[in-house]
Every structure is written in structure tokens, then in C-alpha cells.
Amino acid sequence: MAVADQDTAVRTGLVTRVFIYGILLVFAAFYLLPLFVMLTNSLKPLPEITGGNMMALPDTWTFEPWRQAWSSAQIGVEPTGLKPYFMNSILMVVPAVAISTMIGALNGYVLTKWSFRGDKIIFGLLLFSCFIPFQIVLIPMASVLGKLGMAGSIPGLVLVHVVYGIGFSTLYYRNYYAVFPTELVRAAMIDGAGFFRIFWRILLPVSGPITVVCVIWQFTNIWNDFLFGASFGGQTQPMTVALNNLVQSSTGVKEYNVHFAGAILAALPTLLVYIVAGRYFVRGLMAGSVKG
């Protein structure tokens, strides 16, 4: 009887696993279908697409749409492709992510290990900033950038994203450092270590998981942002704005294969970030979820 029950349990477990994996495969296929359509059509000549065969593999494989999207597609008044706008995004994202992450780490360190009167109020205000809609800050931010002489420039976009990202980065590091033993900080203070020495030598070396979380979050948000780039970019617009201008062009033939290639190029950096460091994202979030 025990052997029969065990066999039944094994068969039931196998059927359950097959059902679960089958459902997951269906959802994965449904989720990846747009990427498949974009990728296959970006490798087709335009006549194959206009012939109504978007779901089929290319009869003639070509990388010409990718070359055009990168270097010669008509964006605005110049046939520059996405290349200069890609560089604008890189010049905007890298310093914005680095600065907002470092400020968030320092804020989290101060709010957890150097308590002072009103620290909870300050943290609450920083947390509140995470829930302010982008649209509300457009006019005040435009006024500030104009007075600073940074409107329509990459440093202006960097400033906008740093200001808007400090709340999130502070939240991540504050919760992460809240579970770090305060006794180690006090022992370092007794040994004569100062504010920055404790931060650089004790807290920062163990901040790898939450730093990955913060970098992925900030990189994704800043790279994919359209509203700030369209509002404050001027002549230094980022990749997302250029892609919109490419797709929304109202002159000439709609080159769907070039549009698909451009969309993949715009999404490629965030995909690479998640592929390389995505497994650390949940791990870092869980590391700071015990307390705080």
C-alpha cells in the first residue's frame, strides 16, 4: 500500500510539474512574441514586410535596416541615425546613475548610523519624493535649469535625473544599512575612524548587492525616460526621443524594418544590464527587506 501511494504521489507530482511548466512556456511565448516579430522583421527587406508576412522568418536575410537605423536614418532634419543620440544617452546615464547612487549610499549611511533630531522627517520627505509624478515637476525644473543656464544640455538632464533618483537610492541603502550591525560602526569610532573612513572601509565594501539593485533601477529608469528628455533635452536629446522621432516621421515611406531595428537598439542596453546582473537584483532587494 505504501509503495502504491508513493507511485501515485510521484505521478501526481509529475503531472503537476508538466502542467506548471506548460503554462509558463505559454506565457513566455506570449511575452516573447513581440520581440520575435521585431527581430525577424528587422532582418527583412521592406517588400517582405509590406507583403503581409510579418510572422514568417526572412526569405532574404539582411542587416541593412540595422545599419540605416544606426547611422543614416532620417531623424529630424539630418540623416544621422541613432548613433549620436545613443552617445547622448550614455553621457547622460552614466554620471546620473553614479552620482545618485553615491548620494543615496551616503544618505542611507547617515540616516541609519548617525541618527540626529529630525532624521525620520527627512527620510519621510525623501520617501515622499519617490511618489511625485514627473509631470508635476516639469515647470519648476524648467525654471531651475533656465536660471542655472543648463537648459537643453546633457548636464541639465543629468541634474534632473539625479534629483529625481535620490529618493529611490536613499530608500534602498537606508533599508540595507538598517540591518548592518551598528556595533561595528561604534567600534570603528572608538578606534579613531572618522565619518568617511567608516563609510569607505566598513559599509561600502559590503554594499555590493544593494548597489547592483540601485544601479539597475536607476539605469533602467533613466535610459527609458522619454518625458524629461523631450522636455529638457533640446539639441542633446536621448535615445528614446530620437526613436520616437524616427518612428513618427511623416515624410517618405514607412520603413518598418528600420523602425524595428531602432527599437531593438534602444532597448539593447537595458536588456544587457538585466542579463548580466539581473540575478543579483532580487538578491539585493531581499538583503534589505528584513528590517527598515
Q: How far is CA 106 from CA 110, 174, 197, 199, 277, in A?
A: 6, 9, 12, 8, 23
What is the pLDDT, as a whole number, of residue 4? 52
Is residue 165 within 8 Å of 220, Cβ to Cβ? no
Q: What CA–CA distance (Å, rounded) separates 2 from 175?
A: 50
d(CA 82, CA 89): 10
**Cβ atoms within 10 Å of 18's Cβ, excluding its own:** 10
Measured on CA atoms in the order 92, 220, 207, 104, is the torsion positive or negative?
positive
Return d(Cα 173, Cα 11) in angstroms, integer: 47
Q: What is the pLDDT along the chain (292 residues), one digit of tens a residue?
A: 455 555 554 556 788 888 899 999 999 999 899 889 999 999 999 888 888 777 888 888 999 999 999 998 888 777 888 999 999 999 999 999 999 999 999 999 999 888 888 888 888 888 888 888 888 888 888 899 989 988 888 999 999 999 999 999 999 999 888 888 888 888 888 888 888 888 898 888 888 888 988 999 999 999 999 999 888 877 888 999 999 888 887 566 788 889 999 999 999 998 888 888 777 777 766 665 544 4
Q: Which domains does the chain have, with CATH numbers?
A: 14-62 (no CATH), 83-286 (1.10.3720.10)
CA 135 – CA 117 distance, rounded (Å): 33
**pLDDT score at 250:** 53
Name 15's Cβ contacts closer than 8 Å, sequence gap at least 6: none
- CA dist 140 and 137 (Å) reads 5
For the four alpha carbons of 87, 88, 94 and 95, in that order, the dihedral sign comes to positive
Cross-strand partners of 75: 78
273/212 Cα distance (integer angstroms): 10
Q: Please report the pLDDT score of residue 292 as a whole number.
A: 43
What SS3 state is found at 220? Answer: helix
Q: How many CB atoms lie within 10 A of CB 99?
A: 18
With a CB cutoff of 8 Å and minimum separation 6, the contacts of 265 are: 66, 69, 70, 82, 86, 239
Q: pLDDT at position 252, please?
A: 67
